[in-house]
Structure 1
Amino acid sequence: MLLPIPVRVIYTFILACCIGLLAYALYAQYVDGLHPCPLCITQRAFFVLTGLVALMSLIFHPHGVGRYLSAGLMLLCCAGGAAVAGRQVWLQGLPPDQVPACGPSLEYMFENLPFGEAFSTLMMGDGNCAEVVWTLFGLSMPNWAMIAFIGLGLAAVATIFATPRR
């Protein structure tokens, strides 16, 4: 069954959402003064990747197997971002005595540690990642990021069932 929505509209929607989410993240960082933790930066990277796949799909308009590949890549990026956001939500839910100690900065990790160890340390999160400094309707920024990744993932799946170009 095909959705009555052109696939390019969905690609545009995904791209616009990613741009909007990243724009707000930059606004929160540079105007509101909220400094992103390593997990926040990783979530931003997954929004960038999702948006880039949507942009490439919008430009090249894949069909056939390419459409499945495009949807799969976007879904994979969204799943990775949701996993990172989920990890941060979990860290934020820990009792204060169980929160990991604050670790080195992201720049320090990637400059001084082997990539595998830096990546592992990054994914573990630290005390900075457990701090809730912003909420909207009782949900923290990682909660909203996880909701956004799930929604974008569903939109990516919808591209498979959307009306192809004529």
Structure 2
Amino acid sequence: MNINATLFLQAVVFAILVWFTMKFVWPPITKALDERAQKIADGLAAADKAKSELATANKRVEAELSTSRNDTAVRLADAERRGQVIVEEAKAKAAEEASKIIAAAQVEAGQQTVKAREALREQVALLAVKGAEQILRKEVNAGVHADLLARLKTEL
């Protein structure tokens, strides 16, 4: 064999191999590489979009948290004011009830005093009658003594 023919034959085989690779092997590889590059680009775009959406969502969350904190503070202040009002109302009602109880106790004490005076008058009258009876052992007239006792009660 001749080196020129071998070289020529190798060049033809190489050309066929290059043509076959360019026609059948290279397009799927480039297509796969292009698809992969597109997926990577889409992923990066989605990541950027997600990052911006996350930042926006974080801003909204911070705004909502701030609003919630303010609302909570306002509600707590209102609750404290309401609690103070309720406590003041309860104190006023308690003072009113206390004054009613004191007034009722004073009325009852007055009634008890009147009853005690009446009982004391009767006891004093009985003691006076007994004393007079012992002194006057001679003659006791119940009618006259009852009249005297009645006068004595009114004087006491």
Do both share a fold (TM > 0.5)? no
More helix by share: 2
More strand by share: 1
Structure with higher Rg: it is: 2
With normalisation by structure 2, the TM-score equals 0.22
- The answer to which structure, 1 or 2, has the higher relative contact order (CA under 8 A, 6+ apart) is 1
